[in-house]
Every structure is written in C-alpha cells, then in structure tokens.
C-alpha cells in the first residue's frame, strides 16, 4: 500500500478527491490536514471529519493553520458555499480531530514513512511551509509531492494572473517550491492550464449519481449543484472545472497526464500580479527545473477512472 497524506481546503472538488482516495484499496491515508482557503479552517476541519467518518477513513484528521503566513485570509464562499460543501446539509461529525497541528502531522507522517510518503497539496501551501520550518529535510523524506496550484499561461481564476491556492498564500507557495527544489524528484505541479481541462457536465453528475448507494453520493451531488451554479454565474455555463480529483488520480495513475520539467517561481512583489506563478520556458533565469509541470491530462480517461473507482470502492465503505 502507498502511504499518502492529503492537505486540503475542503471544498467541493477536495471532497471528491477525498472520496476517490478512500476508494483506492492500494492507498493507506496517513493523514488528512485541513487548511484555511475555500472556507475557514473550522469549516474545512469539520468537512474533513464528516468525510472521514462517512468514508470510514481511519487516518488522523488534523487542523492546519487558520491564516496564511503573511497575507490576510481570503475565502471563496461564493465558489464552494458558506460551509464549503455547496448546498449539502450535514450533521455534526462524531469523529474528533487529532490534537496535533497540521504542520506537525506532515512531519510525523513523513518521519513514520521515510522515503515512502506521497504528499498531496490541494489547497494553499501554508501547512507545508510551516512543516518545513520544523523539518527542513521534508523534501528528502517524501517520496513524491503533488500540488494543485498555479496558472502558467492562463487567465487565472482569482486575480487575472493567479490561481486560488497560490493566491491565498503566495509566500507559502514560494517557500515550498524553493525548498522542494532540493527534492530528488521535483514536485508535480498541476496548474489551471491542466486542471481546467477536466470539466464535469450534467451527464457526469448523472453518472456520479449511479455509481453507488452510499451517503457520500447525495452529499457530493448537493455540493456539485452549487459548484455548477457558481460556474454558470461566472459565465461558463452548466458545468464545473474539477481540479483536485485530477491531482489525486494522477498521483496514483501517472499515465493520465504527461509532465514537463520547468523552473517556476511565485511573484511576491507585484501590485497586480502577486501570487502569479511564473514559468521560465526559455531558461532565461539559468535555473534548473524545480517542478514537473502537468500538461494535457486525458480528461475523458480521468473522469471515467474517477467514476469507476467510486463504483468499485464505495460499496466497501458502507
């Protein structure tokens, strides 16, 4: 089995990513870390506890940082709903959170599985940046790191040149990418350029509804109804861009997308562009590549794989 830690700001697409991971029999979740982002850290932690309970995930669920390293916290209630799960109405979880901080759980899980742990960052990088302060060897302790974040040649989804996860805590993203340039394998960075090619349409929701008789399905459908409404209000029509499940799936099924080496850094000083991820395609900086940039995912294969994994896995999680 593959020990895996997921750090997320659940979040509608984060919720589907967690469901997917719970369904993978070959994954042993070593921790779920919540980070403030889509909604505040209380709501994210609550959502993660609800999902861990519903999906019978025994992993510790730890509360991460309530605020970015330097920036003021911004949240995206319009995108994900006031509680982060769209229209879904949820009872309080009976699962309790782990007493450790999110950063501490990153470090403990990495030390428990030296060279083995796969890390997924599906929200702002705050906890990972704090974990690096406790354990600067993290880049060498992890087996691989996969990040949903950034917008390289893209109109952005936050400010005109920025992607949400990096825009919320640009300082943390900058520090993380710098620190992980010392990793044996550069982190896989999945920017909007790649993730926005995975579009859910009504037929995807219909297929999701038919995957399994499990309480997480009505929850996800109510969440995605909000996400579709948000995208429609934003001018995209009745659909949604589904970022985080792609990153989770690609971490386990690398054939779903190719990657190219690239030097990427985060703009921290720009008055219009703070939080922009800048990629050096022509090597002007003379720096070695520090990420494996995800490109051109096979979107139909990703969607089919997600649905099939739920269809196969959810009946075991009742």
Residue ranges that bind Ca ion, judged by CB under 5 A? 9, 11, 14, 122-123, 244
HSE of 243, CA atoms in CB hemisphere, 13 A: 27
In angstroms, give the least distance from the CB of 8 to ligand BDR.
Answer: 7
Clarify whether 250 is annotated catalytic. no
Closer residue to Ca ion in complex, CB, 141/247:
247
54, interface contact from Ca ion, ligand BDR, none, CB < 5-8 Å by kind: none
Closer residue to Ca ion in complex, CB, 23/242:
242
Catalytic position from the list 231, 243, 250, 305 = 243
In angstroms, give the least distance from the CB of 11 to ligand BDR.
Answer: 4
163, interface contact from ligand BDR, Ca ion, none, CB < 5-8 Å by kind: ligand BDR
Distance of CA 269 to the CA centre of its chain: 25
In angstroms, give the least distance from the CB of 8 to Ca ion.
Answer: 5
Closer residue to ligand BDR in complex, CB, 15/107:
15
In angstroms, give the least distance from the CB of 80 to ligand BDR.
Answer: 6
Nearest residue to ligand BDR by CB is: 164
Binding site for ligand BDR (CB under 6 A): 11, 13-14, 38, 76, 79, 122-123, 148, 157, 163-165, 243-244
Closer residue to Ca ion in complex, CB, 57/122:
122
The answer to whether 22 and 32 are in contact (CB under 8 A) is: no
Q: State the catalytic residues.
A: 243
């Amino acid at each position: 089995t593959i020990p895996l830690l997921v750090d997320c700001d659940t979040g509608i697409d984060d919720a589907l990513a967690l469901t997917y991971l719970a369904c993978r029999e070959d994954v042993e979740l070593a921790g779920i870390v919540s980070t403030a982002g889509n909604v505040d850290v209380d709501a994210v932690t609550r959502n993660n506890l609800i999902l861990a309970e519903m999906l019978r995930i025994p992993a510790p669920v730890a509360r991460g940082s309530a605020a970015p390293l330097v920036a003021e916290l911004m949240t995206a209630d319009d995108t994900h709903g006031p509680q982060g799960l769209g229209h879904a109405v949820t009872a309080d979880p009976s699962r309790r959170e782990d007493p450790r901080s999110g950063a501490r759980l990153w470090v403990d899980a990495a030390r428990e599985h030296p060279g083995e742990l796969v890390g997924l960052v599906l929200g702002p990088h705050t906890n990972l940046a704090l974990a690096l302060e406790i354990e600067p060897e993290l880049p060498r302790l992890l087996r691989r790191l996969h990040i949903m974040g950034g917008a390289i040649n893209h109109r952005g989804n936050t400010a005109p040149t920025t992607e949400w996860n990096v825009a919320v805590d640009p300082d943390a993203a900058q520090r993380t990418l710098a620190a992980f340039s010392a990793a044996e394998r550069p982190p896989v960075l999945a920017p909007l350029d790649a993730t926005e090619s995975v579009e859910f349409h009504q037929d995807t929701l219909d297929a999701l509804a038919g995957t399994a008789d499990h309480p997480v399905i009505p929850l996800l459908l109510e969440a995605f109804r909000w996400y579709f409404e948000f995208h429609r209000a934003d001018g995209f029509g009745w659909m949604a861009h589904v970022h985080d499940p792609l990153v989770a799936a690609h971490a386990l099924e690398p054939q779903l997308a190719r990657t190219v080496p690239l030097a990427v850094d985060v703009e921290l000083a720009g008055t219009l562009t703070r939080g922009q991820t800048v990629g050096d395609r022509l090597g002007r900086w003379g720096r070695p590549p520090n990420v494996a940039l995800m490109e051109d995912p096979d979107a139909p294969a990703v969607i089919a794989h997600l649905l099939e994994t739920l269809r196969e896995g959810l009946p075991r999680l009742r």
